[in-house]
Amino acid sequence: MLARVANNLFWMGRYVERAEHVARFMNVNYFSSLDAPNQLSQSRQFVLRSMLFMVGDPVYDDSLKLKEEEVLFNIGLNREKNYSIINSIKVARENANSSRDLISTELYESLNKFYHYVMNYSTDTFVKTNLYDFTVNITEMTAVLRGKIRGTLLHDEVYAIIMMGVNIERAIQITRIINTKYNDALMAKGSYGDPIGNSFEWSTLLKCAESYDMMRRLYKKSPNSTSTLEFLLLNGRCPRSFMNCINQVYKHILEIDKKVEYAKSSTAFMVGKIKAEFEFKQIEEIQEDIQGNLDLILNKMFKISENMEKEFFNY
Amino acid sequence: MGSATEKTIFSSYVRKEGLFDEVFKGNGNVKSVYQKLLDLYGSRSIEDYVNLNTKAKSSFFNQGITFQVYGDKQSQEKIFPFDLFPRIIDPKEWEIIEKGAIQRSLALNHFLWDVYHDKKIVKDGIVPIELLSSSPNYLHQMMNVDPPSKVYNHISGTDIIKHSDGNYYVLEDNIRCPSGVSYVICNRTALKRALFGVFNHYKTHTVTNYAENLLHLLESVKPPGVDSPVCVVITPGMFNSAYYEHSYLAKAMGVELVEGRDLFVENDFVYMKTTQGPVRVDVVYRRVDDLFIDPMEFNPDSALGVPGLFAAYQKGNVTIANAPGTGVADDKAIYTYVPDIIKYYLDEEPILKNVHTYHCSRPDELKYVLENVKELVVKPVDEAGGYGISIGNKLTKDEIEKVKAEVKANPRKYVAQPIMSLSVHPTYIDEKESFEQRHVDLRTFTVLGHDQQFVLKGGLTRVALKEGNLIVNSSQGGGSKDTWVLKQ
Amino acid sequence: MFYEYEIDYDTQNSYEKGLNEAFWQFLVVPEENDTQELTYWHFENDLGERNSVSINGLGFRTVQVRSKKEIDHIKFNAHFKLIKKEVNPFDFELPLDSKEDYDQLRSLDFRIDHEPFLRNTRLTHLPEKYATIFPFDENVSLFENLQALNQWVFNKIFFKPGVTDVHTHMEEIIEKRHGVCQDFTHLFCAIAKKNGVPTRYVSGYLHQGNGFFGDSQMHAWVEAFVPNAGWIGFDPTNNLLANHNHIKVCHGKDYTDCAPLKGVVYTLGKNETKYSVLVKAAQQQQQ
């Protein structure tokens, strides 16, 4: 496979996955806050700030009054913002365009339809009445895309590259979401005296990661900080967990790099090392410094992506 | 037939006096090859038809079979307009077209070999030397280069019209990077889906075998010493208007679609940059203009090409299809010599006729052209895509004077032809919500390989969607139709 | 008589913003022909990349260097040793009847065989208003006319470096009467072609020992085709016939075919090129 095309497929996977997480985060966060148990969690400003924090455009100035429609527009449909959903879909499709000869007609057609759907979505409707409809459609269409990736491509190098992109991005987005909700929980703590460990924000977090039902089945208790973090970071059987993502990344990198022994500088070695480290990680270790550990995970994922670029995309 | 009930798709079809209709005879009866189609199709209502048409169009749009139209602010994606009412060519007529297209392609290939070697045809006084020396596409670098299997124009697109005398005429040869073949295949797919009930009543040749034949013939002209050649398609990139076609062909052939920056040359061998390191490339199907393929030899500002590619080609380490320098043979001034070229190299009479052409560079012909602009089509020699063409009977007095002045000032730049009456075909016109007669032509695709040829049994029927318009190019608002070549 | 030369071609290209990928092609290797024999060559670049020798579209030897590292400059050096044979440029017979030459120039076969070097190029196109600036006198031989043209160009243009470049129009050269060897050469070619004589642009090295104009860079002169005599070298910059001091690298229709360095670099910033040429005569040898 051409190095340039591999790079494009990798980023196609990443952007599709990114669009989904941003959309779901908006949806869950917004709607669950409407009847949240405490005042701060219900506050519009709090929710909007949380969204901006998650997409990487945080607002720290408390005196600033955010306009809801503007924030929703920026995250959803503003083409000028590189973090917007519309932009992710646009870039995903551009990447697919440059590798149309490699991906299936079915996958391309779905992505193309998706693109036109988003491009033609009316801003006014979106910010006024259709936040739910829009975000749900995004998450559903990305699910269709994932199905097409899995079901209509030969499971070879092309597939592996896309799935690397998808899983690296998922690990990053899950970590970002945890980070954001952890941050929210910290802030919410002061306002109503709940211990941070039992904050309402943990349930929201699980829903943002589409993992609430799975988690309830496993723990059969209300989520608290320990169980939530353990589930989302370390439980390899939860498809959204960091652990599962890294397992997937490891599986796919072996498809791309078929050497028997791996150089220490290779991506395969790097991924293997991280995988081994987290397999035997305890949640208590992470809880010693949650913020520090989340940053560490993010940095490791960024490093994997950069290393791939050097190793495979840059001849 | 004639007993069409009301509101069916042909109930309001008007046949104009003097136009050659491919479906209806002069007396209004349906020609025999179309009879079955009309029996099945003709009874449908316009509404039915519009429904099918809309669905087919959205399928094109969703598949991304579009081209970009660049507007003031944002570029827009449009589908290439097409019409669901197919054109049918009976086996006897097709035989003539196919033989004629092969004959032309072979003769032009001989011509290219000759002008890049001994130039016998020029020395024998058949083709004037000035036509070569004034052509920017006559590449000095190609002198005495022997392309593998002596093939230059691997892929030719021949534009053919049916005149009101019932004969086929060639309007133009395209042997640089002819495009359009992907539309032939897409049109067929769309038509099969929408009208399977009609399609299955005809025995029509397939068109979906184009890519496999193309790959086979490209592999047959591999460089010497290579067992299983690696072929690639090189494209200017996704912003090129024919990008869909490039990606379609690469995918259908199962080869890589590369851009210039994906290839590099080392020690006169060509490699592509893959995730597993460099991989040698043996055959390059180029969809980039030859003047842009190698900044070391041709346009130095080209960012689309591969530096060093020509040296590798010249050394015989890679095949380029079509060969660089083929453009010299599809110049409109050379076109007029094609019948002579066929006789000279093949010692045969041309199977497909040429439209008679007046060279404004010849004083007596210039005089005729200036006196008869109203009855002629005046074309610049070196413009592609239908630009700069003036059709005499559509011009105002002032415009005629302008054309005359232009031609007088620059006679070498122009040729003129009698206004050919292109045949018409029933075509659904959105604004009129009915079928009307529209002019059509046919682009056929011929592939030359090592001692073998292939003509796609079908072709791109292009329709001039504006009423009375004779220019069918998509850049001038043309559409297309599926073309059925019937089996014997 | 034989002359032995050593030639050093040195160049350094610097790129303000740096670059990740680049391709350079040097057209600096002396041609091997009846009067020149290349006995030694050596190429070096300071990037540690391979110097690949290739042949360009007009049949001349090139050296290609490809880099895919992050760099901000390249230094390239070529070193040659060459034996040049002294030839008498007047060693051919002038036709008894000078008309013969002109008849041949006009014959179809001749025009076809020499088509590339009769072609007008952007750099050798004589504007219509100067069409008769130097008409040939058909009462004397073609060779004499070309010699007169050589003299005329030499007198017409004043050698002045740094005022013209490859984009300068011929009109400016004729009107302002200044330029460097490329401009002298292009003007000669344009006028000779106008008179039906095939001419080609020659790029090469000039041994400067005798105080010629050459500016310690690559030199340019003309080869014109004279029927019955073949290609003859004229150096209008120095009003000379090409001789043992002229070491030919290549020829082409004009400068564009002969540029000593062509490169494709992927960078945004400015770049700067420096180069120098040194030609030394070694001991003359009798053989």
Global pTM value: 0.87
Residue of B nearest to C107 (CA): B123
Low-confidence ranges of chain C (pLDDT < 50): 287
Q: In the beta sheet, which residues pair with residue C55?
A: C61
Does position B4 have pLDDT exceeding 70, yes or no?
no
8 Å CB contact of B123 and C256: no
Q: Does B314 touch chain C (CB under 8 A)?
A: yes
**Chain A interface test: which of B270, B275, B280, B284 (most A C-beta within 10 Å):** B275
Query: Which of C52, C109, C257 faces B267 most closely, judged by CB atoms?
Result: C52
Q: In the beta sheet, which residues pair with residue B270?
A: B265
Q: Does A226 touch chain B (CB under 8 A)?
A: no
DSSP A68-128: HHHHHHHHHT-TT-TTSHHHHHHHHHHHHHTTTTTS-HHHHHHHHHHHHHHHT--HHHHHH
* Mean pLDDT computed over B329-335: 84
8 Å CB contact of A116 and B256: no
pLDDT in tens, C143-168: 999 999 999 999 999 988 888 888 88
Tell me the residue length of chain C: 287
8 Å CB contact of B256 and A256: no
The token pair at A62 is 């408390």
pLDDT band at B272 (very low <50, low <70, confident <90, very high): very high
8 Å CB contact of B275 and A157: yes
Cα end-to-end distance, chain C, whole Å: 7
What CA–CA distance (Å, rounded) separates B40 from A159?
45
Amino acid letter for position C258? C
Q: Does A307 touch chain B (CB under 8 A)?
A: no
Q: Does B261 touch chain A (CB under 8 A)?
A: yes
Helices assigned H by DSSP within B162-209: 181-194, 196-199
What CA–CA distance (Å, rounded) separates A121 from A127?
11
**For residue B333, what are the contacts with CB-CB under 8 A and spacing of at least 6?**
B131, B359, B361, B381, B415
Phi, psi at C236, each rounded to 5°: -70, -20
Indicate the angle between helix axes A157-192 and A242-256, nearest 10 degrees.
Answer: 160
Range name among A256-270, B269-283, B453-467 with the lowest pLDDT average: A256-270
Query: Which of B119, B139, B266 faces C66 most closely, judged by CB atoms?
Result: B266
Helix (H) or strand (E) holding A7: helix A3-34
B141: closest CA of chain C, how far (Å)? 5
Classify residue A220 by burial, with Cβ atoms within 10 Å: 0-12, 13-18, 19+.
Answer: exposed
The token pair at C238 is 């120095």
User: DSSP class of residue B227?
Assistant: S
Nearest in space to C192 (alpha carbons), one of C149, C228, C237: C149
- At residue B72, the pLDDT reads 54
Q: Does C253 touch chain B (CB under 8 A)?
A: yes
pLDDT band at A210 (very low <50, low <70, confident <90, very high): confident
pLDDT in tens, B398-444: 989 998 998 888 887 888 988 888 899 999 888 888 899 999 999 99
* Mean pLDDT computed over B377-381: 83
Phi, psi at B285, each rounded to 5°: -90, 110
DSSP A218-280: HH-S---HHHHHIIIII-TTSTTSHHHHHHHHHHHHHHH---SS--TTSHHHHHHHHHHHHHT
What CA–CA distance (Å, rounded) separates A5 from C16?
30
Q: Does B267 touch chain C (CB under 8 A)?
A: yes
Taking the mean position of all CA atoms in its chain, how far away is CA C24? Answer: 20
pLDDT band at A90 (very low <50, low <70, confident <90, very high): very high
Nearest in space to B204 (alpha carbons), one of B221, B227, B184, B177: B184
pLDDT in tens, A244-297: 999 999 999 999 888 777 788 899 999 999 999 999 999 999 989 999 999 999
Query: Which of B119, B140, B296 faces C262 most closely, judged by CB atoms?
Result: B296
